[in-house]
Amino acid sequence: MENWFTVENIDNDTFAISEYQHWEETHCYLVCGTREAVLIDTGLGIENIKKVTDSLTALPIMAVTTHVHWDHVGGHKYFDTIAVHELEQEWISGGFPIPLQAVKRNLLHGNCDFPKGFAIDDYQIYQGIPEIILHDGDCIDLGNRKLTVIHTPGHSPGHCCFYEPERKYLYTGDLIYSGCLDAFYPTTDPETFWESVRKIQPLEKKRVLPGHHSLNIPVTIIDSIEKAFRELAQEGKLHQGNGVFDFDGFQIHI
C-alpha cells in the first residue's frame, strides 16, 4: 500500500492522494475541516485508501463523489457515509451501465504496476446505497470550511465539481484535466460537457484540482478547454463519432 498511493499537501489540511502507479493517475482529495472531513473520490479500489486518510486525520470522513465511474468510487467500500448526485444514485445502487468485463479491460489498458496480491479476477465495481444525495448548489459544511456542489454533466449525467469559495479551490473531477477528456461514451454528451465548462468559467479560482494526471495545471486551462469546444462546435464537429482532437496540453475525445 505504501507504494500504491502518493500523498501531496495542497495546504496544511488539504491533501491529494494519487494513484500514479496506474495509467489513469487518479487523484482523490482529502479536505479537512474542524468538525469533519470529506474525501472527494476514492480512486480505483485496488488498495485501501482509508488507511491513508486515517493516517492524515482523526475526523469522521464522508466520501463525496464527482461521478460514479469505477476509477472514482472504487474505495467507497471503505467508508460508512457516501454522497452522490441524484442523477447517479441508480448507477451506484446497482444500475451501473458498463459491464464488469469492460471495466477490467480498461484497468489493464495501459501501463500499471499493481501491488502484490492484486488479482484482476477478484476486482468488482463498487455498488452500495448512498446515505446522502447531492443537488446543484448544495453546501457541504465541514465546520470552518464549506464546499459548494456544482452539477457539471457531460462526462456523465451526475458529474459534479466542488468549489471552495474561501480558498478558491475548484475540484474538477473528469471535467477538467491535462489529458484526454472523454465525451464519447453513450452516457456522455459533448454539448453538455461544453455547457458545464462554461458554467465554471466565471468562478474565481486559485487552484484547479483535477481528477487525473498532472496535479499542477494552470487555472487558464479552463478557458483553453472552453475555446477548444467552441472551435469544434463552430466547425460542426461537436458530436460523437468524430474521434480524438489534439490541443495544447489536452485532447478531446468525442
pLDDT of residue 163: 98
Instruction: Tell me how far apart the alpha carbons of residues 228 and 130 are, in angstroms, rounded to a whole number.
Output: 36
pLDDT of residue 81: 98
pLDDT of residue 2: 56
Question: Phi and psi of 237, rounded to 5°?
Answer: -110, 0
Instruction: Tell me how far apart the alpha carbons of residues 195 and 252 are, in angstroms, rounded to a whole number.
Output: 15
Q: Which three cell numbers stand for residue 78?
A: 471503505
Q: Which residues of the chain have pLDDT under 70?
A: 1-2
How far separated are the first and last CA of the chain, in Å rounded?
Answer: 35
pLDDT of residue 82: 98
Assess if CATH 3.60.15.10 describes domain 6-253: yes
pLDDT of residue 1: 46
Instruction: Tell me how far apart the alpha carbons of residues 158 and 46 are, in angstroms, rounded to a whole number.
Output: 24
CA distances to 38, 73, 99, 230, 234 from 211, in Å = 15, 12, 22, 23, 28
Residue spans of the domains in the chain: they are: 6-253
pLDDT of residue 78: 97
